Amino acid sequence: MSRDAYAEAFRRVTGRPLVALPQLAGASDSEIFFEALALNDVPGSGQHEDNDLLAAYADELAAAFGARSDELARHGRSLPGAREALAAVARVPNVIQTVITGTIRQNAACKLHAFDLDRYLDLGIGGYGSDVYPKGTQILRSLAMAAEKYDARVPPAMAVYVADSVRDAAAAHVAGVRCLGVATGRSTISELREAGADPVLTDLADTSRLVAAITR
């Protein structure tokens, strides 16, 4: 589903087929797009024009993904324990939950809504794949937006980034926030630990252990 949406959006904004698809795992939608431009020999004329293309691509990607939303509900799934984990953490006093993801905001919202996960999250203070900032900066921007919106003190030391990849663990280190690793992606438990995640859980199945790790 995602690959078809990427291909359709790419063709609409560049006029060329997406013959070579970049590595998707761990990459943001903006990174995927710019790498696809190079892999598919799309002539560029400078950063301004590329940014205009990225904005158009994000619009087309949202439309292509939205047209396939029924497929997501039918064929997709949330990770076991994800809903229970979000619900449990939402009950902890003074906790604000959001997402930092490589997916553009519209598509992130679509995915979360399909599995009834968005009710626990404030997507307005998140970071998304249409942003041009690295994830470490996105985390800090998210904290700043949370502090302003909720009129609260939200220093990095009070934040926890739940991550399933080495790249995300590195972003947490850059931002100065604690990283809780969950080995449900391509990164192994040992790789997440080496990247600085502490602790690292196998999955989201043990809700009480997850909440304890976040609130310790």
Give residue 48's pLDDT: 46
- For the chain, give every domain's residue range: 2-72, 77-215
Per-residue confidence (pLDDT) for residue 45, from 0 to 100? 46
pLDDT of 64 higher than 60: yes
Model pLDDT, residue 25: 63
Residue 2's contacts (CB-CB under 8 Å, 6 or more residues apart) are 24, 65
Report the predicted TM-score, pTM, of the whole model to 2 decimal places. Answer: 0.85
- Cα–Cα distance, 103 to 30 (Å, whole number): 9
Which residues are CB-neighbours of 141 under 8 A, at least 6 positions away?
Answer: 127, 133
d(CA 64, CA 59): 9
The CATH number of 77-215 is 3.40.50.1000
Alpha carbon distance 11, 30 (integer Å): 15
State the first-to-last Cα distance of the chain, in angstroms, to the nearest integer.
39
Tell me: pLDDT of 82 over 90: yes
